Amino acid sequence: MRKMTEYKMFEGCTIGNRIPFIEAASRKVFDKVGVQTSQAPFACCPDPTGVKSFDNDAWLVMGARNLCVAEAEGKDIISLCNGCTNTLRGVSHQLKHDSLKKDKINAQLAKVGKEYKGTIDVKHFVDVLKDNLDKVKGAISKQLSGLKVACHPGCHYMRPAEWMESDDPMRPTTLNEIVATTGATVVNYGEEILCCGSAVTNAYPEHGMANLKIKMDAITKAGADVICVNCPACFQQFDTQQRDLSKQYDANYNIPVLYLTELLALAMGVSADEIGLKFHRTRLSGILEKIG
Amino acid sequence: MAIDFEFRKQVMDHHIGSEVIKYCYQCSRCADNCPVTAVTTDFYTTTGYNPRSNILNALLGYKDAIFAADELAIWGCTVCDTCDEVCPQNIELTEVFTFLKNQSIAQGKGPDFIYAQAKAVFDSAKAIPSQPAIERRRQQMGLPAVAAPDVNEVQTLLKNIGADKKLK
């Protein structure tokens, strides 16, 4: 079979329609690393914490439809988001292991002229970068020496291991490894695999905040300059909720957040303006000064 | 407490590795590693979110015990999938919890956020619809416009599967 070099880009609703600056940074990094992408008219993945909780069959049929869109072009998907990756891989998993579900979903897809076959793979961009680590290293032009980074890979990047098949689900290392290529220092803070609490915050803000406090206290204690993430839901939880967290606990949480591709873009010589870092809620001026 | 055998069967059917859920011996590793249990339960209380109790009640068919309780009993789950990884019996707990959440929605219960997101997805095929200000920002940053999905096709699929009837 022909080796597929071009991926279908799945930017997802949050990045595409709310925080597109992350897509801008990701595209810059993909260009420099030689990862080719093209667009497709994908709908919502849909959300593995939202629509899946609402109706598993609705989640399956929409996820399968998206997979059909990529299958029609015979190209694998590259996802910029943990949730989208988790959904698209999870839908594939359910349909491949449960023939009753597959028949039910394909009967629905047939009515709109589609059929899920299971012929393409869904990759998280972190795993694609890991597979191209030498090219990532080669594209780094500015060492971020002295920058202390707390890595938060996020739950749905590696769990459940049963169908994510990426990193170690309880001792992840890939994000650390990629961040280290920039010359920055990865700090251990002991709560690396703790959830950001995004989903529970939507239903019970008080419990979400209590969870976020545990995470932020550990990151603060470790002396991190910045939190590095690879999921837009986690990004928003850290970037937008620190102010509320500070109010609620009468404290001062203000650690900036960078998406992995933003951190890499800076290390590859892209300017903060080009990738819209001014749209972050948390202040980045301190670390931008530090890395020069 | 009444046992609902139909409910029990549905739980078994939903779980892909359906035979393993029977092997739960209530060791409590799920609850011990659950981040929401950690912030909703202390040593002396039996309230709060507890994945172990959910599995026990689901496995035994104690439907009333699950749905008569505070909604936190189901919706406290933050879908981090940590319990799935620490379970010594390889039970996919989060998939069972998905089934419980789906049942809660079918009863018209559950958090507003879930309904709001489902409505947005039904109306626009996106959880977060496209907005002019963001479209302009994309343009300014040199990004291509987001490829628009076929909303009619997505609505047809959702209607045929019956999801539209669950919207509020």
* Mean pLDDT, chain B, integer: 94
Q: Are B35 and A197 within 8 A, CB to CB?
A: yes
Instruction: Give pLDDT, residue A2.
Output: 45
Q: Report residue A166 as tokens.
A: 């990426």
Tokens 């530090």 appear where?
A290
Radius of gyration of chain B (CA): 19
What is the mean predicted confidence (pLDDT) over B144-158?
A: 98
Give A132-177 pLDDT, tens digit per residue: 999 999 999 999 999 999 999 999 999 999 999 999 999 999 999 9
The CATH number of A142-291 is 3.40.50.11810
Q: Bridge partners of A186?
A: A149
My answer on whether omega of the bond before A41 falls inside 30° of 0, hence cis, is: no
DSSP string, A198-214: HHHHHH-HHHHHHHHHH
pLDDT band at residue B138, thresholds of 50, 70 and 90?
A: very high
Taking an 8 Å cut-off on Cβ atoms, the answer to whether B143 and A20 are in contact is yes
ipTM of the complex: 0.96
Quick check: A203 and B158 CB within 8 A? no
- Rg over CA atoms, chain A: 19
The pTM (predicted TM-score) of the whole model is: 0.96
Q: Look up residue B166 and give its two tokens.
A: 């669950």
User: Is A207 in CB contact (< 8 Å) with chain B?
Assistant: yes
User: In which band, very low, low, confident or very high, does the pLDDT at A246 lie, cut at 50, 70 and 90?
Assistant: very high
Query: Quick one: pLDDT at residue B13?
Result: 84
Q: Please say if the pLDDT value at position A279 is more than 90.
A: yes
User: CA A242 to CA A239: how far, in whole Å?
Assistant: 6
Give the pLDDT score at B1: 78
The number of C-alpha atoms within 13 Å of A127 and in the hemisphere containing its C-beta is: 18
What domains, with CATH codes, occur in chain B? 5-106 (1.10.1060), 112-166 (no CATH)
pLDDT value at residue B44 = 72
- Record the tokens describing residue B74, joined without a space: 């189901």
pLDDT the model gives residue A78: 98
Closest-CA residue of chain B to A158: B81
Query: Which 3 state secondary structure label does DSSP give A41?
Result: coil
pLDDT over 70 at A181, yes or no: yes
Residue A183 burial (CB count, 10 A): 15
pLDDT band at A1 (very low <50, low <70, confident <90, very high): very low
Kindly identify which residue of chain B lies nearest to residue A272, measuring between CA atoms. Answer: B141
Q: For chain A, which residues make up each domain, given as ranges?
A: 6-125, 142-291
Q: What is the pLDDT of residue A168?
A: 97
Residue type, A99: S
Q: Which residue of B has its CA nearest to A161?
A: B85
Read off the DSSP letter of residue B22. Answer: G
The domain A6-125 having CATH identifier 1.20.1050.140: the answer here is yes
Q: How far is A253 from chain B (nearest CA, A)?
A: 19
Residue A91 binned pLDDT confidence (cut-offs 50, 70, 90): very high
The pLDDT assigned to A103 comes to 97
Cα–Cα distance list, A56 to A95, B32, B66 (Å): 12, 27, 19
Among residues of chain A, what percentage have pLDDT more than 70? 99
Question: Taking CB atoms and an 8 Å limit, are B161 and A198 in contact across chains?
Answer: no
Which of the residues A27, A55, A68, A157 would you substitute to probe the B interface, choosing the one with the greatest number of B C-beta atoms within 10 Å?
A55
For B85, which of A17, A54, A161 is closest by C-beta distance?
A: A161
